[in-house]
Structure 1
Amino acid sequence: MTQSTSMAPPALHIRPARPDDAAFFAALYRSTRPDLLAMLADRRYIDGLVAAAWQAQAASYRERYPDARYQVLELDGEPVARLVTAAVARALRVVDLAVLPAARGRGVATAALQWLQRQARQDGRDLALAVHRDNAGARRLYAALGFAAEGEEGAVLALRWRP
């Protein structure tokens, strides 16, 4: 589904994930882990650690959200982000939204969230997500889109947008 909102990059396209997206998903996850990549350790050890963390995240999502919808966001025909959503009690939950570093700041996450807000409004659902307290950029984006804090657990804030 091509996005055509005024805030969306003109060539943003959201499509269902396919089995051949697995390598992209693994590389995308790797790009979100500068904490592990910066470790002073043998590269093979770090690669194994990142791969194990990626597999643990994927298993956790499958267990917690077995009916989740996995989508790829493409910009100019290239995959730049992954969106994982799940229907939960009276809400659409954003399980994961990850954007490649090279595509950040280009409106990809904004367009995806606005698209989800339209879906949630049509379905009469809230939109819920969680964000790490130290992720200031994401928190600013969510606040600008009308998400409000609903609770917290450790370093994670629960946010909710209501139509």
Structure 2
Amino acid sequence: MTGKDQTLAELFDRSLAAALAKRDLTAGETPPSEEEGRALFLAGRGRDLLAAPLPPEALAYLVEGQRRVADRALQMTYPDAECRWIRRAAVEGESQAESSQLSPVQAMLVVAQGRDRRELRLVDLVVLPEAQGQGLGRALVEAVLVLADSLGVEARLDVHPGNEKARRLYEGLGFQANLGTQGDREMISIPMVRPHGPPQA
């Protein structure tokens, strides 16, 4: 069976399994708890909300509202997206369902194919602060690139202009800023693309 014959979900799971095997981590479709979902949102798209000068109750209400809006926008924009949550792998004698209940989520990864199937978009990638600095983000992006190559398409993503660490990571993996005539001034995000195939040395 070739990459073209398998579903995006099957290929995604295969590339993630290979990337996470040596880390004793696994990727699954079991959603995070409400608390984990909030932590993922705050570590990713919602991190700027914490600076809002609001009383704790109002801030909690704002965060929850923004999280629900962001989740709904993702569902509407990418209805066929594949989302996986990264957790510790099950240990001997423990089912993966038990592991999901015992092991906290460490990261979230969302990918989707473009409407014309000529691109794979890394829609969202969040690694919780306690799991950062161990190469997990890089391993997840590399899994996305393996997936894009197996589909024979280019990989695309958007990065916040102020997130230099992520931008350097993506550039090191072969992504290039695709700014057109806008430059990167006053942009909400910088579009980046990695052409099909491994980066050229």
Task: Report what 1:29 is aligned to.
Answer: 41
Partner of 2:149: 121
The equivalent residue for 1:150 is: 178
1:2 aligns with 2:35: no
Answering whether residue 103 of structure 2 is matched by residue 68 of structure 1, we say no
Distance 1:47 1:158, change over 3 A: same
Q: RMSD across aligned C-alpha pairs, in angstroms?
A: 2.0
Give 1:75 deviation, angstroms. Answer: 4.2
CA-CA distance at 1:47 after TM superposition = 0.5
Identity %: 30
Counterpart of 1:38 (choices 45, 51, 54) is: 51
User: What's the secondary structure of 1:57's corresponding residue?
Assistant: helix
2:26 to 2, 9, 13: 13
1: distance between equivalents of 2:135 and 2:24?
11
CA contact (8 A) 2:41 2:47 kept: no
Is the Cα–Cα contact under 8 Å of residues 19 and 140 in structure 2 kept in the other structure? Answer: no
Within 5 Å, give how 1:67-86 maps onto structure 2: 67-75=80-88, 77-86=103-112
Aligned mates of 1:139, 1:45 — CA distance in 2: 33
TM-score, normalized by length of structure 1?
A: 0.87
Question: Structure 1: which 5+ residue stretches go unaligned?
Answer: none
Asked whether the 8 Å contact 1:133–1:156 carries over to 2, the reply is: yes
DSSP-derived class of the 1:2 partner:
helix
Contact between 1:81 and 1:99, CA under 8 Å: does it hold in 2?
yes
Question: Contact between 1:9 and 1:106, CA under 8 Å: does it hold in 2?
Answer: no
State the shift of 1:105 in Å. Answer: 1.3
Report the count of equivalent residues: 159
Pairwise CA distance, 1:80: 0.6
- CA distance, structure 2, for counterparts of residue 4 and residue 38 of structure 1: 35
How many Å separate the matches in 2 of 1:140 and 1:130? 13
- Superposed, 1:105-144 pairs within 5 Å as 105-144=133-172
Paired residue type of 2:108: R
Larger strand proportion, structure 1 or 2? 1
Matched residues in 2 for 1:130 and 1:34: separation?
Answer: 17
